[in-house]
Amino acid sequence: MKVFVGPVGSGKTSRLLEVYHRLVQRGVKTGEILVLAVNAASVSDWRSRITLPVGGNLNIFTYFGLAQREVMGLWPQLDAGLPQGGSCLEPVFMTTETAHYLMGLLVDRYRAEGYFPAVRATSQQIAIQLIDNLNQAAINGLSLGETGMRLGSMAGADRDKARAFRDALELMQLFRRHCLTSRCLDYSLAIELFNTRLLPEAAYAGRMGGNWKYLLVDNLEESVPAAQDLISKLMDTVQEAYLAYNPQGGYASFFGADPVGAAERIVPRCQVEELKDSFSSTPEISAYASALAERIRGGEAVEPGTPTLLKGQVRTQLRGEMLTETGRRVLELIAQGVEPGEIAVLAPTVDKVMEFTLGRCLAQKGIPLVNLTRGKRLLDQPFAQALVSLALLVYPEWRLEVNFSGLVQTLSLLLKLDPVRSALLAESIFRQKLELPDPDNSALRTRLGFRNTEQYQHLKNWLEQRRQEKPGLDTLFQQAFGELLAPLLPGEYDLLACRQVIDSVTKFYKVMGRYPVAEEFDLDRGFLHMVLRGTLAAETLFRPPDNTGKIILATPYAFLLSPYVRPVKYQFWLDVAGEQWLRGNAKELTNPHVLSRRWERVWDDRKDQEIRLNRLAGLVQGLLGKCGAGLYTASSFLSSRGYEQDGQLAQWLEEQGVSWSD
């Protein structure tokens, strides 16, 4: 057993790939090698970097991907041991947003009966927190009873909080019963079945030993506790195991990773091979990163050396001014000969205003910007928005809210209208309660122009025909894509978005066809309702980011956890005076720390602050580990909402002796 230990950029993944190829060259079958990667992006990266003399099965999975495959492959055995066992040939796996939506329906129903009276969050926010509780319980091996006890302990003597946690537990238990009865498995139930029904079985341990003789684990420090349970068991059965571990990592602890568990349970079982940083990060950067991290954790400020790392700062009154000035500084670097791909702009929250302002500033000089932040709403993609807007126009009787700007965007896309004409047409449609006006009986022909009116008439005829036919959404989306959107010559992202919508509605049908909902529930209307509540239409269809030669815009987590993002020379840290850099993940009804294996049965403001500080310290150390030449910071006195900002990160940077070169 061997573990490759080193910081970011030390070549740990490359060493694992060398091991993989060496095993294949020795005659080991690819089906006997199991690779566990941290996320879908890493799985894709691994698959793209493996070269084989002949084809073979590649067993490269995330932890959940492997658990899902095993549950599906051994379903008859699992089903027999569940309530009403032996009645289902195969389960249906829920997407995350479908789980959120179904939990949201429960919350809506029970809130109307008086549940959660003192909770300020919206029903959808409550639903997301309850699903998060289920997921955290699953990856930490907690029963629902233990989960409820731990959450309830946070209420103390507050009766309103105690009732809220009791209500939360009741709905989580009800959701779980519905999932079991319908054999619709959300993330948490799939993990729980894998951990409690398969892993403990001696027969399954034999199956693992017979299937996989070699184990490779990348980013061990980013693994969740349940994944570490699996890794530990596999290390008992495989002939050889090779792991990659970054002692300074654990960035995914925000999402449930347990780097301490990895260090205590897995690393000591292995022979350690230390790897040095192969990136051109200087000793000064490493020293500064360590000093800054120590200061954040509560240590004393350290006198700086020669401040060549800290290149400049942007300070403005308004946030918009900060973004514009940041764009100007980026252009200055490029004018000095720095390649766009060597610059990363990082912020704890990447919003539309930030992306638009920076993108417009850079576009004036022909400099491309790529946003790598995950979790964008599907409706932010014009072609996906067009499919949804068309469906709402075909079914006005559903009385779902139509987004005005989304309709304007759709009309601009389909009819190739300018924003002014699109807005005029959209206003007319809204005035007529989603009935499309007749251009011959209005002033629209004059306003739109003759050619535009012809295109509008074609769209109007298409919509009226669909209103008569009343196709299901899956059919409607396919017709809309083939007849209206495909002739627009969509790009690759557009095609992915359309495929995502169509794929999602199909999966939604499968789940809702089994899940116990009211008989009068309309599947098509329910799907659009789900999308309009802000969820993605399906899990994001992964595509490697096209970030080569482009300015990178990302959150710190996206920058650190993506295998496609290499170290850069220059970084810009935005909003350093804001509190988002120190955000926690505890909310009204959920607290990942309380549900973790690290819980010390104490939760107060002091513990909350300690966790936030440790997380930020690791984050800035990781970011500077991928910074080779210089750091710029940017802040504004007022936030985007007009609040004064005096965040601690900006103060710590000052205390560490920031002496700017410009």
Same domain membership, residue 434 and residue 524 = yes
pLDDT at residue 539, rounded to an integer: 44
pLDDT at residue 32, rounded to an integer: 95
Band of the pLDDT at 4, cuts 50, 70, 90?
Answer: very high
Same domain membership, residue 385 and residue 433 = yes
In a domain, 102, yes or no: yes
Same domain membership, residue 406 and residue 314 = no
| Rounded distance between C-alpha atoms, residue 344 and residue 558, angstroms | 11
| Rounded distance between C-alpha atoms, residue 228 and residue 263, angstroms | 11
Mean of the pLDDT values across residues 174-183?
95
Residue 120 has pLDDT above 90, yes or no: yes
For the stretch 339-363, what's the b/e string if a residue is b when 16 or more beta carbons lie within 10 angstroms of its beta carbon? ebbbbbbbbbebeeebbebbbebbe
Nearest to 62 by CA among 617, 567, 561: 561
Task: Give the Cβ contact number of residue 593 at 10 Å.
Answer: 20
Number of domains observed in the structure of the chain: 4
Same domain membership, residue 114 and residue 208 = no
| Rounded distance between C-alpha atoms, residue 580 and residue 410, angstroms | 34
Same domain membership, residue 515 and residue 424 = yes
Mean of the pLDDT values across residues 521-539?
78
Mean of the pLDDT values across residues 494-502?
89
Nearest to 103 by CA among 130, 71, 79, 134: 130
Better-predicted residue by pLDDT, 662 or 46: 46
Band of the pLDDT at 301, cuts 50, 70, 90?
Answer: low
In a domain, 316, yes or no: yes
Residue 87 has pLDDT above 80, yes or no: no
Give the tens place of pLDDT for each residue, 123-171: 999 999 999 999 999 999 999 999 999 999 999 889 999 999 999 999 9
Residue 280 has pLDDT above 60, yes or no: no
In a domain, 18, yes or no: yes
Question: Which among 246, 274, 302 is the end of a domain?
Answer: 274
Same domain membership, residue 525 and residue 392 = yes
Residue 585 has pLDDT above 60, yes or no: yes
Residue 88 has pLDDT above 90, yes or no: no
Collapsing DSSP to helix, strand or coil, 80 comes out as: helix
Contacting residues for 372 by C-beta, under 8 A, at least 6 apart = 545, 547, 552, 553, 554, 558, 559, 562, 565
Contacting residues for 361 by C-beta, under 8 A, at least 6 apart = 323, 324, 327, 328, 330, 331
Same domain membership, residue 369 and residue 388 = no
Mean of the pLDDT values across residues 420-443?
87
> Tokens 């659009």, residue?
528
User: In which domain, by residue range, is 482 found?
Assistant: 378-532
Residue 278 has pLDDT above 60, yes or no: no
Collapsing DSSP to helix, strand or coil, 444 comes out as: helix
Same domain membership, residue 524 and residue 398 = yes
Ranges of H-type helices in 519-655? 523-532, 556-561, 605-625, 648-655
Residue 279 has pLDDT above 70, yes or no: no
- CA angle 150/155/161 to nearest 5° reads 115
Mean of the pLDDT values across residues 334-342?
95
Residue 537 has pLDDT above 50, yes or no: no
Query: 37-51, 403-417, 512-526: lowest mean pLDDT where?
Result: 512-526
Same domain membership, residue 428 and residue 344 = no
Residue 441 has pLDDT above 80, yes or no: no
* % pLDDT > 70, the chain: 93
Mean of the pLDDT values across residues 255-273?
95
Residue 412 has pLDDT above 50, yes or no: yes
Average pLDDT of the residues of the chain: 89
In a domain, 87, yes or no: no
In a domain, 85, yes or no: no
Cβ atoms of residues 648 and 324 within 8 Å: no
Which strands form 369-371's sheet, in the order they lie side by side? 310-316, 627-636, 568-573, 343-346, 551-554, 369-371
Question: Which among 182, 210, 239 is the end of a domain?
Answer: 182
In a domain, 236, yes or no: yes
Residue 428 has pLDDT above 80, yes or no: yes
Same domain membership, residue 178 and residue 210 = no
Residue 24 has pLDDT above 60, yes or no: yes
| Rounded distance between C-alpha atoms, residue 413 and residue 83, angstroms | 51
Collapsing DSSP to helix, strand or coil, 305 comes out as: coil
Same domain membership, residue 294 and residue 258 = no
Give the tens place of pLDDT for each residue, 600-652: 888 888 999 999 999 999 999 899 988 988 899 999 998 887 788 887 888 88
Residue 203 has pLDDT above 90, yes or no: no
Ranges of H-type helices in 486-549? 492-512, 523-532
In a domain, 350, yes or no: yes
Task: Extract the tokens encoding 305.
Answer: 């050396």
pLDDT at residue 538, rounded to an integer: 39
Integer CA distances (angstroms), 653 to 70, 570, 647, in order: 48, 17, 11
In a domain, 538, yes or no: no
Residue 19 has pLDDT above 60, yes or no: yes
Element (H, E) at 539: none
Q: What one-character-per-residue DSSP string does 390-417 give?
A: HHHHH-GGG-PPPPHHHHHHHHHHHH--
Band of the pLDDT at 75, cuts 50, 70, 90?
Answer: very high
Q: Is the dihedral of CA 586, 591, 596, 601 positive or negative?
A: positive
Question: Which among 274, 300, 332 is the end of a domain?
Answer: 274
Residue 661 has pLDDT above 50, yes or no: no
Q: Check which CATH number belongs to the domain holding 63 and give it.
A: 3.40.50.300
pLDDT at residue 277, rounded to an integer: 61
Task: Extract the tokens encoding 592.
Answer: 């990942």
Collapsing DSSP to helix, strand or coil, 638 comes out as: strand
| Rounded distance between C-alpha atoms, residue 370 and residue 201, angstroms | 47
Predicted model pTM: 0.92
Ranges of H-type helices in 492-604? 492-512, 523-532, 556-561
Q: Give me the amino acid identity at 252.
A: A
Same domain membership, residue 296 and residue 204 = no
Cβ atoms of residues 353 and 323 within 8 Å: yes
Q: How many CA atoms lie within 13 A of 162 on its CB side?
A: 5
| Rounded distance between C-alpha atoms, residue 171 and residue 176, angstroms | 8
Better-predicted residue by pLDDT, 448 or 430: 430
